[in-house]
Structure 1
């Protein structure tokens, strides 16, 4: 499947977050949305990536941006992981079933490993993709770079 690119219309989806709440992408029209993909919960780099989203909630809010943590982990796992990491506000979405379906739609699913790329996809208030960056799996995204793109 073709990887999502700048200028594409972001495919809509509904996924449950770590609290079992359905999160519908289209409900955030009028705001920017950051889809921050991490391969697997319970790993060090993924934990740091999601904690950075939580630590910068006020910055995202100031930039009219909703940050969503995305992975193929099931809801119960993401819920326990969020509690361990003290992530209280950031929504961690489960792309568990169909397994990696949204990651596949966005062209970010790694077939061999069975999980998503580590990537950031920024969607503008109209639903258009304005920034995409895929990182080496073991690299932590630079939160200042992410915020910089949200500010544009």
Structure 2
């Protein structure tokens, strides 16, 4: 298992597809902060609340020069249907499906036994350095206010 990523480290580049099959290349987002909001599985209550909180705060993220990305191991068709069900129009829901959980693994938050990522938020700055990293219990909804405060103060 890979060690967990730490504040101060540079995050490894990746390319994943979102619910619209558009490829998102992390290093293309240079000059912006990026919130990587990992959730174990689509179609679950806490994960839905987590992604809806990102969508509800999309304008504020934009004002804070931040691109919020939801990431899980679910395949793209599932992400597409889930985004439609939740009314997600702005947030990109990335599929870390194949190689299975590869981005979560490089961050050290893949749970091999269950085949899903931990619930975690990682914020990287404009130079791709990790400025915030927090894991949550599976049933715990990340506090969006805490994320916003970190972004305002960094």
TM superposition score category, shorter chain reference: over 0.9
Long gaps (5+) in structure 1: none
Which residue is equivalent to 2:71? 70
Which residue is equivalent to 1:145? 146
Aligned pair count reads 152
Looking at structure 2, the residues matched to 150 and 10 of structure 1 have their Cα atoms a distance apart, in angstroms, of 17
Long gaps (5+) in structure 2: none
Which residue is equivalent to 1:33? 34
Query: SS state of the match for residue 140, structure 1?
Result: coil
Query: SS state of the match for residue 68, structure 1?
Result: strand
TM-score (norm 2): 0.98
Q: CA deviation at 1:150?
A: 1.1
Looking at structure 2, the residues matched to 55 and 97 of structure 1 have their Cα atoms a distance apart, in angstroms, of 29
Which residue is equivalent to 2:10? 9
Looking at structure 2, the residues matched to 129 and 65 of structure 1 have their Cα atoms a distance apart, in angstroms, of 13
Query: SS state of the match for residue 149, structure 2?
Result: helix
Q: What is the CA deviation profile of residues 50-78 of structure 1, one whole-angstrom value per residue up to 9, with x for unaligned ones?
A: 00000000110111100000000000000
TM-score (norm 1): 0.99
Q: What is the CA deviation profile of residues 91-129 of structure 1, one whole-angstrom value per residue up to 9, with x for unaligned ones?
A: 000000000011001101001111000000000000100
Q: Which stretches of structure 1, 4 residues or more, deviate above 6 A after TM superposition?
A: none
The equivalences for 1:2-151 within 5 A come to 2-151=3-152
Looking at structure 2, the residues matched to 128 and 82 of structure 1 have their Cα atoms a distance apart, in angstroms, of 29
Query: SS state of the match for residue 83, structure 2?
Result: helix
Q: CA deviation at 1:8?
A: 0.5
Looking at structure 2, the residues matched to 125 and 58 of structure 1 have their Cα atoms a distance apart, in angstroms, of 18
